[in-house]
Homo-oligomer: A and B are copies of this chain.
Amino acid sequence: MSAAIQALELSEKKDIIALCGDLAEKFIKRAPKYDKEGSFPVENFQDLKDAGLLGIMIPKEHGGMGADFLTYTKALEQLAMGCSSTALTFNMHNIAVGSIAELNLKGIGGSRGKTMTEFRDWVYDQSISHKKVFASASSEPGIGAHFSKLKTTYKRVEDGFVINGTKSFVSMAGYADYYVVAAKAADSDSEVPAISYLVVEKDHPNTTIDFIWDVLGMRATSTNPVHFKDCFVKKEALFLGSEGMALYKIAREPHWLVGGYVGVYLGISTAAFRFMVDFIKKKKIPGTDTSLSEDPKIQHRVGEIYAALESARTVTYNAAMLVRDKLGSQEANNAIHHAKYVAGELGPWLTSQAIRLCGASSLAKVFPLERYYRDSRCGGLMPATSDECLSYMGKAAFGTDLTKPTETYW
């Protein structure tokens, strides 16, 4: 690759990140309202659409921005510094689009290749030309994201499929244009069950949503249960035209299901750190005109927090780089679990410490710190959870092959 193209690429990556940084400036002003109401950040998504960001992962030759996973991670970090609910739900869209974009379909010929290509082109077209948003409908009540235990089924019928089941934690429920529903083939009985994805339109008459999302943090994600009752979809709705691959894909390449969250939660911690530094600089040591930042004990503690944050940042960027450069390698997968764990558990600790250092006045809702404290606790609960990541890292250290779905909790 020539130096000129390299420089261009670098600048384009910087442009994407800077673009997201600019949007974040807008988002941060709207964040308190969406958080308070628990309403979906419609204005923010309009901005994302207007900026063409629904195509962030779509290759440039298909009209998208062609972000790699590192650029994408940094873009999410920026967005999350403005509104973490927006960044999180934006990631759900890209889980669908990005996992397609990284496939090399050129080598797949015949009707299979054709079907896949048609599906891909449809997703690209919906995202770019029609500004359509895809949501993920995977988790289930009492099951979480353990795909192998899913109770939602689909049955092959003439010209399509019929889906039955209930999905919990569907972010963007009621807003997204399409749900990508993970379901088990009704007749599957193998140890690794045949799990497939099916695309259902937002207003499909056989879907209902329970609007019950009233929670600690990530309040503006509209993460609600969606029911699918004898819900018919055409055969073109089968994701990538492929049945039964979901579990294998997740085990081999967990970065999309797991890795997207990392940038989001790193962004929250970064925002909290910056707020804290700023707040302490402005605060005076009681009874003096000296900034509290001059207190050597405060410097020490801020140093500890900085160390934890920068460790998480380095680990996160490194993992995203490995996904970019060594997709699906054990090294990349380990790094993703590592980063998910580190960034997921950093937040509650960092924001708690930040409040401790800033003091009682920082608890007020006029400041964003209390929201960061609430939002950040959600990170470790998303798949793969912090404790699942620990198990994966431990098993990998002992040489277990985690590309086998049966060795995972999926």
By a beta-carbon cutoff of 8 Å, the part of chain A in contact with chain B is 141-144, 146, 148-149, 168-169, 212, 214-217, 273, 277, 280-281, 283-284, 286-287, 293, 295-304, 306-307, 310-312, 314-315, 318, 334-335, 338, 341-342, 345, 348-349, 352, 355-357, 359-361, 363-366, 370, 373-374, 377-378, 380-382, 385-387, 389-399
Which of B215, B298, B373 is in CB contact (< 8 Å) with A394?
Answer: B298
| Given contacts A389-B303, A394-B301, A381 and B365 within 8 Å (CB-CB) | no
Which of B143, B296, B338, B349 is in CB contact (< 8 Å) with A391?
Answer: B296
CB pair A338 B310 closer than 8 Å: yes
Q: In the complex the two chains form, what is the Cα distance from A179 to B281 in whole Å?
A: 33
| Given contacts A286-B149, A287-B148, A307-B338, A385 and B359 within 8 Å (CB-CB) | yes
Give A376 Cβ to nearest chain B Cβ, in Å. Answer: 9
Stoichiometry, as copies per complex, reads 4
Which of B142, B169, B298, B355 is in CB contact (< 8 Å) with A286?
Answer: B142
Contacts of A366 in B (CB 8 A): 214
Residue with the greatest number of chain B CB neighbours at <10 A, chosen from A141, A283, A393: A393
Q: In the complex the two chains form, what is the Cα distance from A392 to B300 in whole Å?
A: 8
Contacts of A356 in B (CB 8 A): 345, 380-381, 385-387
CB pair A398 B281 closer than 8 Å: yes
Q: In the complex the two chains form, what is the Cα distance from A287 to B26 in whole Å?
A: 43
Pick the 10 closest A-B CB pairs, nearest first: A299-B394, A149-B287, A303-B390, A303-B394, A216-B370, A303-B393, A302-B394, A348-B352, A293-B398, A360-B381
Give A80 Cβ to nearest chain B Cβ, in Å. Answer: 18
Contacts of A349 in B (CB 8 A): 349, 352
Contacts of A299 in B (CB 8 A): 390-391, 394-395, 398
CB pair A310 B303 closer than 8 Å: no
Contacts of A398 in B (CB 8 A): 277, 280-281, 293, 299, 302
Q: In the complex the two chains form, what is the Cα distance from A48 to B280 in whole Å?
A: 39
Which of B169, B297, B307, B312 is in CB contact (< 8 Å) with A393?
Answer: B307
